Chain A
Amino acid sequence: MTRLPILKLTLASLAFGAVQSVVLLQFDWFGGAAASAAGPIDLLLDVTIVVSSFIFAICCVALGYALIKWRVKPGDESDGLPIHGNTRLEVIWTVIPVIIVVALAGYSWAVLDDIESKDADRITVNVYSQQFAWTFGYPESGNKWSEGELHVPVDRQIDFKLHAQDVIHSFWVPEWRIKKDNVPGITTDALVTPDKVGTYQLICTELCGAGHATMRAKVVVEPQADYDKWVAGLEQEVPGGLLLTADQALEIEQQLQEKEGGIEGSGVDET
C-alpha cells in the first residue's frame, strides 16, 4: 500500500479552499445593507462561506485525487485493497464536523440574540396585510394610517407588529435582512433598526394567491424630523376592523352568517 501524500493533499485543499473563499467573498451576496442587523448577519454569512469553501475543497480534492490515482487501466480486472475501514479516521470525521456545526450554531445563536435585542426607545408600527396590499398604522402618532407606503425614522429601533386579514403574508425588506410572517389570528413582531436613509421595497414572501408577486410596498427611511412631519401630514386614522380581536372576529362572522343564512347560504335553520 503506497503512502498517501497527506501533506500535498492538505496543501491542495487549503489552496483550493482559499482561492474559492477569496473569490466568493468579493460579492455582496445579500445585496445592499440598510439596517443594524445587516452587519452581524453578513459577517456570519462570510464566515460560513469560508468554512464551506474548505469543506467543499476537501471533497473535490479527495475525489479528484482518487480518480487520477486509482482509475483502472483498460483490461485490469483486479480488485482494490480490501480495506474495511479505519476507526481513527472515522472518529476524526465524526468529531470534527460536530465541533464545526456546534461552533457555527453557537455563533448563530449569538447573532440571533444580538439582532433581536430590544432598545428602550423603540417605536411601534403596525403592519396590516391583506390580499394583495400593505397598509401601515402609527399608534404612537395618533394611530395614523398610510396605504402602500411605509415611513420610518432612521437610526431608531422599530418594533413592527404584523397582522394579516385573510391568509398568511410575509414581511421582508431585503436591505434590512429581517423577515417575519404576518399570520391571521395572531400578532407577530419584527425588530428593525434602519440605519441608512433611502427608499426600499417591502416584498411579500409567503404565497398568498394570484397577486402574490406584485404585493409590494414602498418603504421610506428618513431623518426623524422628516418622519414626524410626514406622519403629522397623514389624515386618516386606522379604520376599525383592521386589527381584529377574537371577539370582534366572531361578531363579524356571526353577522355574516345571519346575513347569508347559515354556512352554505341555503336557508337551513342552524338550531
Chain B
Amino acid sequence: MAMAIRQPGWYRGAIGFVLGAAFGFGLVIALRAISGLDLFQTEQTGYPHVIVPLITAPFGFLFGFGAFDYWFRWAAGKPTIPDDHSGHGAFRWQDYFKFNTDHKVIGIQYVVTTMFFFLIGGLLALLIRAELAQPGEQIVAANTYNGLFSTHAVVMIFLFIIPIFAGLANYVLPLMIGAPDMAFPRLNALSFWLLPIAGIIFLASFLAPGGSFDAGWTGYAPLSTGAPLGQSFFNIGVQFAGASSIATALNFLVTIITMRAPGMNPWRMPLLVWANLSTSLLVVGATPFVAGAQFMVFFDRALGMNFFQFLEGGDVISYQHIFWFYSHPAVYIMMLPGFGIISEIISTHARKPVFGYRLMALALIGIVVLSYSVWAHHMFVAGMFSWLRVPMMITTMLIAVPTGIKIFSWLGTLFYGKIHLYSTAMLFSLAFLVTFVVGGISGVMLGMVPLDIHVSDTYFIVAHLHFVLFGGSVFTIFAGIYHWFPKMTGRMYDERLGRIHFWGTLVGTWFTFLPMHWIGMDGMPRRVADYASVYGDWNLLISVSAFILGAVQLVFLYNMIVSWRFGPKAGDNPWRAHSIEWQVSSPPPVFNFDEIPRVVGGPYEYGTPGARHAIMGGEIVPEEVPEPEPTTVTSPS
C-alpha cells in the first residue's frame, strides 16, 4: 500500500487531487481572512472558494498521477527513471487507465474517451429534442434548457470532434510517416489527461448553484459575465481543453516536420498528414484566442475587471471579435482532419490515386490562410463597424473555392476507379460528399450579407452547422474509425451492422437537420425552449428523427465493443492500402518498426504495376524499384 502511494498512479493521483483542492480552498480562505473579508463570498459570479480549487485540484491530480515526474526529476537534477519506453504498449485493459506514453495507447485512450463524451453530448441533444417536440414547456424550465444546449455544444466541440481527430491522428499519423512515436511522448500523454479533466469540469457545472453554464457555447458577454457560477466552470474547463489541443498540435507539427521516414518529401506525404499539418497550424495560431477570451470573461466575473463591462467603459463587441477569431478557424480545425481521412479512404477503396494530389494539399493550406480572415461573418448583425462586412463576405465565399476543389477532386478520384462499396468506411465517405455539399452551399448563403441578416440566429444556422459538423465531421469520424478499426484492434468489425448503422445515421441526419432550414428561414429563432405553434409538426418530425439517429448509434457501440473482443482476425492489410501503417502488423508492434522504412514513391500509386510507397525495414530490396512516372492525362476523355 505504501508502495502504491509512492508510485505514480491512481492512488497518488487521488491524494494529489485532495491536496490540490485543499490547497486552493485554504489559500482563498486564508487570504480572505487576512484581508478581513467574509470567508465565503457567494455572489453568483464569485465563489472564489470553489473556482480556485477547480484550478488547483486538477493540477494536484496530474502531479500525483505522474504527468510531471520525469520533467521534475530532470529539472531537479535527480536521476530520471531510465527512459526505456517502459510505459509503452498496453497488454491488459487496465493499461489504458495509466499515464502511458505510447502514441498507439494514447490514440485509443483519446478515441474511447471522446466517444464516451459523444454519448453524453448525444443524450443532452435528445433532452433538447424532447423539450422541443411540442411547443410550450415539456420537461425542463427555460434556464435549464439554456444549460442543456450550451453543454451539448461545448461537450461535442471541445470533448468530441476536436479531440477525436487528434486521437485518430495520434494513432495513425506516426505510423503513416514511418516514425517510432510522436516527437514528445510525455507531452502527448499529458495532452490526453487534460481532456477528461476538462470534460468533468464542464459536466460538474450542472452541480453548481444556478445550474450549468447557460449563455450558449459562444458565451457572449455581458450575458456570460453576469451569469451564475456554472459559467466559471466553462471558463476554466476551456483552458484545460485548449491547453490539451495546443500541446497536441505542437506535437504534431514537430513530428510531421522532423520525424518523417527517409525519402518522404512533402509531396509524398499522405493527405491525412497534410490535413493534420494544416489543422495544427490553425490550432497553434487560433486556440490561444479562445483561451484569452474566456480568461477575460473569467477576470470580469471573479476579479471585477472591466473588459466587457459596458457601464465601466468595457467594449461588449470586442468579446465577439476575439472569440470568433478562434472559433471560425475552429470550424476548420473540426473539418480538415476529416478531409484527410476521406482522401485516404476514397483513394484506397476506389483503387486509384487521389485526383490532383498537389492541388488537394495546396487547397488545405489555402483554407488555413483564408480561415483567419473571415471571423466577422458571424457578426454581420452584431452592430460592429459596417465596413468590415463586405470584405469578410468576399473572403468567406472564397473559401468555397478550395473546398470545392476538394469535393471535385474526390469525385474525380472515383472516375475510372474500381469502386468497392463493401466497407462501411467507404459508405460514410461517399455520404459525406453529398451531405457536406449541402452544408457548404448553405455556408455560402450565410456568407452573403443580405441573406445572413435574415437567417442569422435562426434555425437555419442550426441546420447549417449540423450539416457541416454532423454530416461533415461526424461522418468522417465514423469513416475513420471503421477504416482503421482493424489496424487498431487487429480484428474486423461486422459490416452488416456497419451498414445498418450507416443507413440509419444517413437517413436520421437528413430528416433531423434538413427541415431545420425551412423553419429557420420562415422565422423560428434558435436557442429557444418554446416556439410558435405553427412549427409544431416540423419539430415533432425533427425530434422523432433525432431519437432514431440516437438509437442507431447503439448499433455502432455494440459493433465496436463486440468486434473488439470477438471479431475475426483482420490481417495486416485488409483494404490492400499502400500507406505505411498498413505494412506493419495489426495491431502494430510496440515500437512500430524494427527498422525505419524507406519511402520511395507517392502514397496512392494504385494501378501502377510494381509501384511502392515504402520499403519496410528487413525487406530484401528488389534490384530495381520502378519509380512510377507521374501520369497526367491531358483530357478526361
Contact = CB atoms under 8 A, between A and B. Distances in A.
B419 A67 contact: yes
B37 interface: yes
B494 interface: no
Contact of A167 (B222, B315, B317, B531): B222
11 contacts: A41-B450, A52-B445, A63-B433, A70-B416, A79-B606, A90-B359, A112-B449, A180-B383, A185-B316, A207-B223, A209-B146
Nearest to A162: B383
Given A82-B631, A83-B355, A93-B408, A184 B310 contact: yes
A82 B312 contact: no
Interface stretch (B250-258, B392-400, B469-477): B392-400
Interface string B311-354: 11111110000000000000000000000000000000011110
A11 interface: no
B77 interface: no
Contacts of A242: none
A62 B416 contact: no
B495 interface: no
B316 A183 contact: yes
A22 B306 CA distance: 54
Nearest to B637: A3
B216 interface: yes
B359 A85 contact: yes
Interface in B286-323: 304, 310-317
A130 interface: no
Nearest to B530: A213
A83 B350 CA distance: 12
Contacts of A174: 454, 522-523
B220 interface: yes
Nearest to B456: A179
B533 interface: no
Interface stretch (A120-128, A136-144, A218-226, A247-255): A247-255
Interface string B516-530: 001001110111111
A101 interface: yes
Contact of B383 (A94, A177, A188): A188
Given A72-B419, A86-B412, A88-B634, 12 more contacts: A41-B451, A52-B441, A52-B445, A63-B414, A70-B415, A79-B606, A97-B405, A101-B397, A105-B390, A112-B390, A185-B315, A210-B142
A59 interface: yes
A179 B381 contact: yes
Contacts of B635: 86, 88
Interface string B426-448: 00001001100110010011011
B589 interface: no
Contacts of A94: 359, 401, 405
Given A86-B635, A94-B405, A79 B607 contact: yes
Going nearest first, the 8 A-B pairs with the smallest beta carbon separation are A185-B310, A80-B417, A82-B607, A213-B528, A188-B383, A80-B352, A174-B523, A66-B414
Interface string A243-265: 01010011011000000000111
A87 interface: yes
A45 interface: yes
A208 interface: yes
Contacts of A108: 393, 448-451
A203 interface: yes
A103 to B, nearest CB: 10
Interface string B366-409: 00000000000000011100000110011001101100110111
Given A84-B357, A212-B142, A172 B525 contact: yes
Contacts of B437: 55-56, 59
A62 B356 CA distance: 17
A63 B381 contact: no
B636 A89 contact: yes
A23 interface: no
Given A66-B415, A180-B383, A30 B522 contact: yes
Contacts of B381: 170, 179-181
A162 to B, nearest CB: 8
A25 interface: no
Contact of A86 (B304, B311, B607, B632): B632
A85 B453 contact: no
Contacts of B73: none
B346 to A, nearest CB: 10
A177 B407 CA distance: 33
Interface string A9-28: 00000000000000000010
A270 B237 CA distance: 32
Interface string B527-551: 1111100000000000000000000
A246 B36 CA distance: 33
Interface residues of A, number: 95
A29 B310 CA distance: 38
B434 A83 contact: no
Contacts of A183: 316-317, 382-383
B441 A56 contact: yes
Nearest to B606: A79
Nearest to A115: B450
A104 B454 contact: no
Interface in B145-178: 146
Contacts of A112: 389-390, 449-450
B209 interface: no
Interface in A175-201: 177-186, 188
Given A52-B441, A206-B457, A4 B522 contact: no
A76 B349 CA distance: 12
A181 B382 contact: yes
A170 B311 contact: no
Nearest to B137: A213
Given A97-B401, A180-B383, A59 B530 contact: no
A162 B316 CA distance: 15
Interface string A28-56: 01110000010011001100100010011
B143 interface: yes
A66 B35 CA distance: 75
